[in-house]
Amino acid sequence: MLSYNFKYELKILLRSRWIQLLSIVLLLLFGFSALNGKQKVEKRKKDITAAHDEVKENDAMMLKLLDSVERGMEVSASRWTIPTSPMAVGNYHPRVAAMEPQPMAFMATGQADLFTHYVKPKVTGDDVALNFTEMTSPVQLLFGSFDLAFVIVYLLPLLIIAFSYNVLSSEKESGSLRLLAAQPIGIRTWVLQKLGLRFFWLSILVVGSLIVVFLVLDLNPFAQFNLFLGLLGLILVYMLFWFALAFLVNLWTGSSSKNAVALIGVWVLFVLLVPSVLNQLGNTLYPMPSRTLMINEMRSLKAEATKKQDEILDNFLRDHPEYAINDTTQFRGFYHRYMASQKIIKEELSPLVNSYEEQLQKQQEWIGLFKWISPAIITQESLNQMAGTSTGDYENFRNQVVDFAGTWREHFMPFLYNNTVFSQADYPNLPSFQFKPKTHSSSQAIPILFLVSLGLFGLGFVVSKGIKKGGILETN
C-alpha cells in the first residue's frame, strides 16, 4: 500500500497544485523573514563597528594629547578631560563591551529588540546604572518581529493544519472512503501513511526552501553545519508534532469543519494562550519590585555616602594601605572620595538589586518549569538559543559587561590613589572586552518533541480503536 500511496499522493498533490502553492508560500515566508533577520544582524554589526571606530578615533585623539603633554606642550582642552588624569581616561575613553551576533543570529530576534548589543562602562558609573535596554518602537514590540523563528513557530503549524486537517474527512465527504474501506487495508494505517507522505513532502519543501533562501541571501548554511542540522532537526520534529496532532484529530473527530476548528483551537492554545498565560502567571506570582523605589533608595544612599565621604575615604584607605604608602603627596580630591564611596553604595544596594535578580530568576524558573506544556515555547526557546538571542545569552552578556566594568574601574584605582598620571606607555595595558558566547547544553527539545509526537500517534491509534466500528466511515 505504501508504494501506491507514495506514487499517487505526489500526483494528487501536484495536480491539486498543493506542492506548487506550498513551495511559493514557503519561499516567500522564509525569504522575507530571513531577509528581515539578516538586515537586523547587519545593523547590529554596523552599530558595533561604529562604536569601535568611535573608540579608535577617541584613542587617537587621546594619544595625541598625551604626546603633547608629555612633550611639555600647552594643550587646548578642559583640565578634567586631559588624559593624563586616569579618571579622564576611565570616563571619557571607555572601551566597547560588545555582544557580537552569532552566526545564526538572523534566525531569531529573541531578546535582541529589547537589549542593546554594546555598552561602554565608565569608571564612575555603577553596575546597576548600566543601561542594557534598547530603544525600540513599541508598535514593533507589540506585533513582534517577522523573523524565521516566527514563521517556523507560528505560521508553519497553520500551513500544516491547512495541509492535513481533512485527509480522512475529505474522503468521507466525497464518498471515496467507502470504496477504500472495502479494500483489504486498515484505514488507520492508510491515514498514517497519507499524513506521513504529506509530512515527507512538506519536509522536503521546507528544507529545500530554507537552503535556497539561505544561499540566495548569502547566509551559507553549511558554514555552521552542526547548527544548521540542529535547526533542520528542530523544524522537522516540530512539524512532526503538528502532523501527529492532525492524525489524532483526523481519527477522533469527523467532518472537515470540526477537524479544522479543533486543530486551530489547539494552535491557539499552544502557540498563543499557554505562552501568554505562563508569562502572566509568572508576573503575578513573582512580581518585580518597584523600579522607582530602587532609584529613590539608590539616591538616598548616595546622598548619605556623600555626607560621610571623608569617613568613608579614611576607612577605604585603612583597608587599602598600599595606596597610602606609595603616594608621597597624599593628595585627596573628589574622585578619591567618590570611588571609595562606590564600594559602600554597591554593598548597601546589593539586597535591593538582588531582590530584582531573584524575582527575575524565579520568573524564569517558573516559565522553565512549565515551558514543556507548549511545544511552541520550547521550539522558540531552542531557536533563540541557536541564534544566540535567548534570555540566557543576554544574561551572559550582562554578567560579562558587569565583570568588565569592575576590571575597568579597578585598572584605574592604583593610578588614582597613588596620584600617578596616565601616560602613552600605559595605553597598551588598558583592559579590553572580549565577548564569550554562552555555550548551550544540547537542546532537549528535539528528543522531547519526537517522543511527544510518537505518543500522539499512539494515542490516535488507541482513540480510534475506541470508536464504534463503522463510526470512522460516518460523517459526524
Q: What residues line the site for another protein (CB under 8 A)?
A: 1, 3-5, 7-8, 11-12, 15-16, 174-176, 178-186, 190, 468-470, 473
- The least distance separating another protein from the CB of residue 162, rounded to whole angstroms, comes to 18
- For residue 143, the one-letter residue type is F
- The least distance separating another protein from the CB of residue 24, rounded to whole angstroms, comes to 19
- The least distance separating another protein from the CB of residue 468, rounded to whole angstroms, comes to 8
Between 99 and 168, CB nearer to another protein: 168
Extended beta strands in 27-109, E state: 97-98
Between 91 and 170, CB nearer to another protein: 170
Please answer whether residues 466 and 246 qualify as being in contact, where contact means their C-beta atoms are separated by less than 8 angstroms. Answer: no
Reading the block at residue 125, the C-alpha cell is 558609573
Q: Between helices 391-417 and 375-387, what is the axis angle to 10°?
A: 40
- The least distance separating another protein from the CB of residue 112, rounded to whole angstroms, comes to 46
Residues β-bridged to residue 118: 98
Q: Which of 225, 222, 220, 227 lies closest to 38, judged by CA?
A: 220
- The least distance separating another protein from the CB of residue 175, rounded to whole angstroms, comes to 4
Phi, psi (degrees; rounded to nearest 5) at 97: -100, 100
Distance CA 51, CA 120 (A): 9
- The least distance separating another protein from the CB of residue 246, rounded to whole angstroms, comes to 20
Long-range interactions of 129-137: CB distance < 8 A, separation 24+: 130/398, 130/401, 130/402, 130/405, 132/394, 132/397, 132/398, 132/401
Buried b (16+ CB within 10 A) or exposed e, 299-332: eebbeebeeebeebbeebbeeeeebeeebeeeeb
Between 17 and 56, CB nearer to another protein: 17
DSSP 286-314: SPPPPHHHHHHHHHHHHHHHHHTHHHHHH
HEC profile for 327-367?
A: CCCCCCCHHHHHHHHHHHHHHHHHHHHHHHHHHHHHHHHHH
> Which sign, positive or negative, has the C-alpha torsion 102, 108, 110, 112?
positive
Between 173 and 327, CB nearer to another protein: 173
- The least distance separating another protein from the CB of residue 180, rounded to whole angstroms, comes to 8
CA distances from 234 to 104, 170, 238, 281, 376 (A): 14, 30, 6, 28, 11
Between 11 and 79, CB nearer to another protein: 11
- The least distance separating another protein from the CB of residue 5, rounded to whole angstroms, comes to 7
Between 10 and 260, CB nearer to another protein: 10
Between 11 and 71, CB nearer to another protein: 11
Between 46 and 178, CB nearer to another protein: 178
- The least distance separating another protein from the CB of residue 476, rounded to whole angstroms, comes to 16
Between 5 and 36, CB nearer to another protein: 5
Between 174 and 329, CB nearer to another protein: 174
Between 174 and 330, CB nearer to another protein: 174
- The least distance separating another protein from the CB of residue 220, rounded to whole angstroms, comes to 39
- For residue 387, the one-letter residue type is A
Please answer whether residues 119 and 97 qualify as being in contact, where contact means their C-beta atoms are separated by less than 8 angstroms. Answer: yes
What is the enclosing helix (H) or strand (E) of 274? helix 274-285
Reading the block at residue 116, the C-alpha cell is 542593546
- The least distance separating another protein from the CB of residue 101, rounded to whole angstroms, comes to 47
Q: Which of 340, 307, 416 lies closest to 89, judged by CA?
A: 416
